[in-house]
Amino acid sequence: MFDSFGLICMIWWCVMLFHPLHADIQCMESEAQKSPITNVNVDWRKMELSWESSKNFSMYKCTIMNWDMESTAKEVNSPLCRFPKELYMPLHKGVFFTIEVPNTNISKKCTFLPGGMNESAIENFSCVIYNICLMNCTWQAGRGAPADTQYFLYWQNSRDDGQMECELYIKDENGRNMGCRFQNVRIEIEKAYFLVNGSSKDSLIQFYDEYIELYKIEILGAPLNVTAHCTGDPAGCIITWHPPLTSHVKKVKCFQYEINIQNKDEPKEEKKVVRNERYEFQNYNEKKRYILKIRARGPKCLVSSKWGEWSEPIEFGQGKDYFIFVILFLIALGTISVTVLLYCLFKR
């Protein structure tokens, strides 16, 4: 027996906040015994599963599971099950719910299955944040999507924010939306939710959704104000800099830095990884010239663990004194010139 109304609220979050989705919602129960559990409802935004029961039971067990068999289960003493809000499950592959009464054969199983033409959903969805608050998202059209399919992106930065549709789409040569550019993006603690659905005059198009921790996709900018102060004492050169700018990290200790120092006259490089904004370069030779650049990443805090952009290379050190060589060359050239001139005059 199927209870179509049972899970209609499961996609409430997406239907109310985003462009309507195509999905099949089904609830099943044993044919041998009608389940006393009815009117199953899911508030996906609040991560709440509720139902009605014609009998009073002291305990229920509710389980949510996605298509990858990742599941979370809870036992409650009332017809209301609250899952952790940190449980981020995309819907495009399908989601399963089960409500059971322990030590009995009473249960209710409900399934959310996206509808639409097979392989019509987008593929290879990815996003990147750069220049502190700019974000680009791109995708490819589904392999089975009709030629007239048009895609639309909606996203929500956190559960407390309203939904937003892309304001600046990236289009291909046929005018199909294949990406989106965002401005004034802020990185929150919660995962951001992205949904891309499509439309076609011939077929229903499957949707794609994904939760992303924005700090993980940020390309950190280069460290700022890189300087090298060199002396002749044993300390060598004192290299200092400031952390890269971000929209959400205020603690200096969240960053790790890679320092690259190259001898300009030799292929030899010196690389060091440090946690402070100061480094003593003790192999300094004032008669040599060096090239310095620094980049950052965040092994802790909400900072990307991938190395960011290199700072602009700066040079320090005196290098070889070529002035004396220039003088000697000019003297030699002058001597040769005078000699040749005198030779020509005496020959005449």
- Do residue 312 and residue 262 come from a single domain? yes
Residue 76 domain-assigned (yes or no): yes
- Do residue 259 and residue 310 come from a single domain? yes
Residue 11 domain-assigned (yes or no): no
Indicate which CATH number applies to the domain containing 252. 2.60.40.10
pLDDT at 227 > cutoff 90: yes
Average pLDDT for residues 22-46, to the nearest whole number? 71
- Do residue 132 and residue 210 come from a single domain? yes
pLDDT at 11 > cutoff 50: no
273 - beta bridge partners?
258
- Do residue 168 and residue 130 come from a single domain? yes
Residue 331 domain-assigned (yes or no): no
- Do residue 179 and residue 252 come from a single domain? no
pLDDT > 70 fraction of the chain, expressed in percent and rounded: 82
Residue 343 domain-assigned (yes or no): no
Instruction: Indicate the pLDDT class of residue 310, thresholds 50, 70 and 90.
Output: very high
pLDDT at residue number 14: 45
Q: Which DSSP letter does residue 287 get?
A: T
- With a CB cutoff of 8 Å and minimum separation 6, the contacts of 29 are 1, 3, 35, 37, 107, 108, 109
pLDDT at 209 > cutoff 50: yes
pLDDT at residue number 286: 80
Which of 37-51, 231-245, 266-280 is the least confident region?
Answer: 37-51
Residue 342 domain-assigned (yes or no): no
What burial letters (b/e) apply to 59-88, b meaning 16+ CB within 10 Å?
ebebbbbbeeeeeeeeeeeebebebeeeee
Q: How many domains does the chain have?
A: 3
pLDDT at residue number 328: 63
- Do residue 151 and residue 103 come from a single domain? no
H helices then E strands: how many in the chain? 2, 23
- Do residue 209 and residue 178 come from a single domain? yes
- Do residue 284 and residue 238 come from a single domain? yes
Instruction: Indicate the pLDDT class of residue 233, thresholds 50, 70 and 90.
Output: low
The Cα-based distances of 61 to 99, 122, 309 in angstroms read 6, 36, 50
Residue 12 domain-assigned (yes or no): no
- Do residue 65 and residue 109 come from a single domain? yes
State which residues form the domain around 76.
21-114
Residue 101 domain-assigned (yes or no): yes
For residue 314, count other CB atoms closer than 10 A to its CB.
14
- Do residue 265 and residue 195 come from a single domain? no
- Do residue 233 and residue 256 come from a single domain? yes
pLDDT at residue number 275: 92
Chain segment 262-288, per-residue pLDDT in tens = 988 887 788 999 999 999 988 888 888
* Assigned token pair, 290: 């060096």
- Do residue 150 and residue 187 come from a single domain? yes
